C-alpha cells in the first residue's frame, strides 16, 4: 500500500458545525462541573491516584495488555511477583504522573516530553521510528489500513507542527475540539514503533491541564473508548479516508461528557468514603486518629509500616501498632506478600474496582 501524505495542522475543514457545537456545549458543561467539584477537595492526590490506576489499566487494555486489579495490587505492592502486563500498567502510571509534573512545570507540551513519556511506558530509549515497516492493521482482518510516514526527519517536522498547534492558540478553536484533532494527528503521525495509542491518550489529559480545563489529571477517555472501541478505530481511519471530522470530533466530545459525569460520581464516592472512615477512626481509635493518617490510608489502596513510619514521623514500632489496631477494628485487611505485610484499604479498593468499565 502506498504511503499517504498526512496534512499539517490546522485542518482546512469547517470544524464548528452545528452538531459539533451542540455536543461541545454539553462536554464543556460536564467537564466544568467535574473541575468545580475536584477543585474544592483538600486531598487531591487521593483522587488522582485512584483515577489514574483505572486509566492505566484501561488505556493498556485497549492495546491488549490485560490485567486485573488483583494483579495490579501485586505489582504495586511488590514488583517481584507481578505479571509482565501488570508491570507495564505500573510503568504507564509512572509515565502519566511524570508527564503531568512536566506540564505543570514547563507549561507546554514538547516533542521531547512526548518522547520521554513514550520511553517511560515502553521502558526503552528507541525514540522516534528510524526503520521502515510500521503499519496500522485492521484488528479483525489483519489487512493494512494505513502506513504512516517514514523517516525520522519527516516525522519530526510533523511533530513540531503538532507542538505549535498545541501550545499556540493561533486559531481560536475551542480546546476540546482541538483535543480531538490533536489525538487524530498524533495517532496518524504514529511517531514510535509502539506505544503510540497509550502515549496519545496521555497527551489528551496533559492538554486539558495545559489549557486550564482541569487542575488535577482526572479525566480520561479510555473506559469510554473500550465501550466504543470499533468506532474509535473506524473514525480514526475515516477522518483520513472520508474526511469524517465531524463524527470524530463528536465522538471525542461525547466521551468527554460521559467520562466527566462518571468521574464526578467516582470522586464523590471516594470523598464520602474518606469522610466516613475519618469519622469512624476518630470515634473508635481516637488516640491514633489524625488527618495525616487518613491521607496515608487513602494514598494508595494499600499501605505498609514504612509509609506510616515516614508519613507520620513515628517509630517503626508505633507505626506497626497503628496498623494492627486499624486491622483489628476492620479498617484494613493485611496479607503477607514476600517478606512484607501489606495492608489493604478494602473500601477504597472496592470503589475503584467496581467502576463501570471494570
Ligand atoms: N486507522 C488508524 N489511523 C490512525 N491511528 C490509528 C488507526 N488505528 C489505530 N490507531 C491508533 O493506534 C493505536 C495503536 O498503536 P500502538 O503504537 O500499537 O500503540 P500502543 O502500543 O499503545 O498499543 C491505537 O490505540 C489508536 O490510537
Ligand atoms: Mg501496541
Count of residues in the chain: 358
Q: Is 236 in the pocket of ligand 1 (CB under 6 A)?
A: yes
**pTM for the complete prediction?**
0.95
Q: Is 136 in the pocket of ligand 1 (CB under 6 A)?
A: yes
Q: How far is the CA of 127 from the centre of ligand 1 (A)?
A: 17
Burial class (CB in 10 A: 0-12, 13-18, 19+), 193: middle
> In this predicted model, what pLDDT tens digit does every residue of 190-210 receive, in sequence order?
999 999 999 999 999 999 999
**Residue 14: which residues within 8 A CB-CB, separation 6 or more?**
none
d(CA 29, CA 350): 29
Cα–Cα separations (whole angstroms), residue 288 to 5, 34, 292, 299, 315: 64, 33, 10, 17, 13
**Closest C-alpha residue for ligand 1 atom 20:** 195
**Closest C-alpha residue for ligand 1 atom 14:** 197
E strand or H helix at 93, and its extent?
Answer: helix 84-106
Is the separation of the CB atoms in 112 and 98 below 8 Å?
Answer: no
* pLDDT tens track, the chain, 358 positions: 444 689 999 999 999 999 999 999 999 999 999 999 999 988 888 889 999 999 999 999 999 999 998 889 888 887 677 889 999 999 999 999 999 999 999 999 999 999 999 999 999 999 999 999 999 998 889 999 999 999 999 999 999 999 999 999 998 999 999 999 999 999 999 999 999 999 999 999 999 999 999 999 999 999 999 999 999 999 999 999 999 999 999 999 999 999 999 999 999 999 999 999 999 999 999 999 999 999 999 998 899 999 999 999 999 999 999 999 999 999 999 998 888 899 999 999 999 988 765 5
Q: Is 145 in the pocket of ligand 1 (CB under 6 A)?
A: yes
Look at residues 28, 10, 65 and name the one whose alpha carbon lies nearest to residue 253: 28
> In this predicted model, what pLDDT tens digit does every residue of 77-126 receive, in sequence order?
876 778 899 999 999 999 999 999 999 999 999 999 999 999 999 999 99
Q: Is 187 in the pocket of ligand 1 (CB under 6 A)?
A: yes
**Closest C-alpha residue for ligand 1 atom 5:** 187
Select the CATH number that applies to the domain covering 43-259 from these four: 1.10.10.10, 1.50.10.10, 3.30.460.20, 1.10.3290.10: 1.10.3290.10
> In this predicted model, what pLDDT tens digit does every residue of 9-35 receive, in sequence order?
999 999 999 999 999 999 999 999 999
d(CA 202, CA 114): 9
Amino acid at each position: 500500500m502506498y504511503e499517504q501524505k498526512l496534512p499539517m495542522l490546522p485542518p482546512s475543514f469547517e470544524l464548528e458545525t452545528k452538531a459539533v457545537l451542540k455536543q461541545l456545549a454539553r462536554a464543556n458543561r460536564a467537564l466544568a462541573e467535574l473541575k468545580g467539584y475536584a477543585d474544592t477537595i483538600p486531598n487531591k492526590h487521593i483522587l488522582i491516584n485512584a483515577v489514574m490506576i483505572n486509566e492505566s489499566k484501561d488505556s493498556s487494555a485497549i492495546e491488549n495488555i490485560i490485567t486485573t486489579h488483583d494483579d495490579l495490587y501485586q505489582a504495586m505492592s511488590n514488583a517481584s511477583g507481578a505479571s509482565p502486563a501488570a508491570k507495564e500498567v505500573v510503568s504507564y502510571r509512572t509515565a502519566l504522573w511524570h508527564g503531568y509534573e512536566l506540564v505543570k512545570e514547563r507549561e507546554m507540551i514538547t516533542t521531547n516530553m512526548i518522547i520521554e513519556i513514550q520511553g517511560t511506558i515502553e521502558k526503552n530509549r528507541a525514540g522516534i521510528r528510524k526503520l521502515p515497516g510500521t503499519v496500522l492493521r485492521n484488528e479483525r482482518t489483519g489487512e493494512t489500513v494505513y502506513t504512516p510516514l517514514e523517516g525520522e526527519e519527516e516525522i519530526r517536522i510533523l511533530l513540531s507542527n503538532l507542538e505549535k498547534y498545541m501550545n499556540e492558540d493561533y486559531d481560536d478553536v475551542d480546546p476540546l475540539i482541538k483535543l480531538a484533532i490533536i489525538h487524530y494527528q498524533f495517532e496518524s503521525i504514529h511517531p514510535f514503533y509502539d506505544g503510540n495509542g497509550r502515549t496519545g491518550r496521555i497527551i489528551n489529559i496533559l492538554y486539558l491541564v495545559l489549557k486550564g480545563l482541569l487542575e488535577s489529571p482526572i479525566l480520561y477517555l479510555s473506559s469510554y473508548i473500550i465501550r466504543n472501541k470499533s468506532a474509535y478505530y473506524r473514525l480514526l481511519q475515516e477522518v483520513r479516508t472520508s474526511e469524517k471530522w465531524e463524527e470524530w470530533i463528536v465522538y471525542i466530545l461525547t466521551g468527554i461528557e460521559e467520562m466527566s459525569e462518571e468521574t464526578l460520581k467516582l470522586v464523590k464516592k471516594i470523598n464520602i468514603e474518606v469522610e466516613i472512615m475519618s469519622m469512624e477512626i476518630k470515634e473508635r481509635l481516637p488516640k491514633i486518629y489524625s488527618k495525616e493518617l487518613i491521607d496515608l490510608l487513602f494514598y494508595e489502596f494499600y499501605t505498609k509500616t514504612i509509609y506510616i513510619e515516614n508519613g507520620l514521623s513515628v517509630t517503626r514500632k508505633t507505626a506497626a501498632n497503628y496498623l494492627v489496631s486499624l486491622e483489628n477494628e476492620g479498617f484494613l485487611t493485611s496479607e503477607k506478600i514476600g517478606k512484607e505485610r501489606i495492608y489493604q484499604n478494602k473500601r477504597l479498593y472496592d470503589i475503584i474496582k467496581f467502576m463501570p468499565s471494570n
